[in-house]
Amino acid sequence: MARPAKALISKSALRHNFKVAQQLAPNSNNVAIIKANAYGHGAVVVAQILEQDVQAFGVACIEEALELRVAGINKPILLLEGFFSQEEVAIADKMNFWTMVENQQQLDWILTAQCSNSLKVWLKVDTGMHRLGVQPAEVESFYQQLHSSNNVDKAIVLTTHFASADESDSPSTKKQINLFTDIKQSLKASLNLGEDIVTSMANSAGILAWPQAHCDWNRPGFMLYGNSPLDRNTSNGDMLKPVMTLLSEIISLREVKSGEQVGYGGNWTAKRDSKIATVAIGYGDGYPRIAKNGTPTLVNGSVAPLAGRVSMDMITIDVTDIFDVKIGDEVTLWGNSLPVNEVAEHASTIGYEALTRMPLRTKRIIVD
């Protein structure tokens, strides 16, 4: 009998969430972001499920892109952080990887490379995130050099990234959108290209909450996996369906008296005579160690709060008020009926981190 900790990955939910992204921005193409092992869901599996629907995939680095090619994924793959060495330019040329350019070194590597094909380049502009991207005053020079190079496809994508789009009424996001729009218009006028400039602004939050940020290309990531990045509930976010349901089972039950302590350090004390269930899951399976007492789990459809410190392979939960609990009962850690964002909040983190920290030990099972 296999250890019961597992993550169910729903194909239908994944496809549904991608359709939501399409429906909210019907005039946009989409780069499905599957970096960090598709936010813990399994990059190859997610790519296989979505490949027939998406226009391209996005990853953080060339190692992630190569993993997809080895697995037979043929769609274009965007390197979101660009190249880390000039040798990677030749690999991208051969493998049909698209690349971000955000600094002078990356630009020089592309311009001096010996390419057999024209590279698809995304030029990132720093409009306020202050992490990656060329400065607004440098955009024209970078764009012109790329556009003039035989190594570069003429349809360069001008792009930026939002710092606070998850805040539903963020003034900084409005400023970023306005600045980006001004940069595009100025660039178009100064270069007199004769064609429109291809653009991309919206990440998941931009797709869900900022329709004015919908461009030629959008970049859905977190929302693909059924979770809203927004700071409040919205009708758009409510359309999403969790792709991962993290499950395990009760492996032991015991009665503890009022005043007795449970788990490492005894940081949970029974305030009444209680029934404690031990569940086969812990931080070695991706469940956050710093989840606090009271973090919800679900047993037989009822909330069973965490009672005691999370250990490597097990947690203990309070099932005193749940009728007819027995060994072998299924426990939902997050997923359907229990959003990962809610669990993450109890662990002083965000759903992004909870999902991307899922280790390989926790088996993924593809369903529906």
pLDDT for 1:
53
Per residue in 251-282, pLDDT tens? 999 999 999 999 999 999 999 999 999 999 99
Q: Which two tokens stand for residue 148?
A: 């003039």
What is the bridge-based pairing of β-strands 157-159 and 198-200? parallel
Kindly state the average pLDDT of the residues 68-91. Answer: 97
Catalytic site includes residue 188: no
- Residue ranges and CATH numbers for the domains of the chain are 11-227 (3.20.20.10), 244-367 (2.40.37.10)
Helix axes 43-50, 11-24, angle to 10 degrees: 60
Half-sphere exposure of 230 (CA within 13 A, CB side): 21
Examine the pLDDT at 2 and tell me if it is beyond 90.
Answer: no
35, 120, 124, 184: which one is catalytic? 35
Per residue in 132-173, pLDDT tens? 999 999 999 999 999 999 999 999 999 999 999 999 889 999
pLDDT for 192:
79
DSSP per-residue string spanning 127-174 = SS--SSSB-GGGHHHHHHHHHH-TTB-S-PEEE---SSTTSTT-HHHH
Per residue in 99-121, pLDDT tens? 999 999 999 999 999 999 999 99
Distances (CA, A) of 179 to 159, 183, 184, 280: 12, 6, 9, 51
Distances (CA, A) of 233 to 48, 128, 208, 286, 333: 30, 26, 11, 26, 21
Catalytic site includes residue 287: no
Distance, in Å, from the CA atom of 37 to the CA atom of 41, rounded to the nearest integer, reads: 6
Sequence-ordered alpha helix ranges (H) in the chain: 11-24, 35-39, 43-50, 62-70, 87-95, 104-111, 139-148, 171-191, 204-209, 340-346, 351-356
pLDDT for 169:
87
DSSP state of 265: G
Per residue in 294-323, pLDDT tens? 999 999 999 999 999 999 999 999 999 999
pTM score of the predicted model: 0.95
19, 94, 264, 363: which one is catalytic? 264
Distance, in Å, from the CA atom of 280 to the CA atom of 3, rounded to the nearest integer, reads: 7
Distance, in Å, from the CA atom of 354 to the CA atom of 366, rounded to the nearest integer, reads: 19
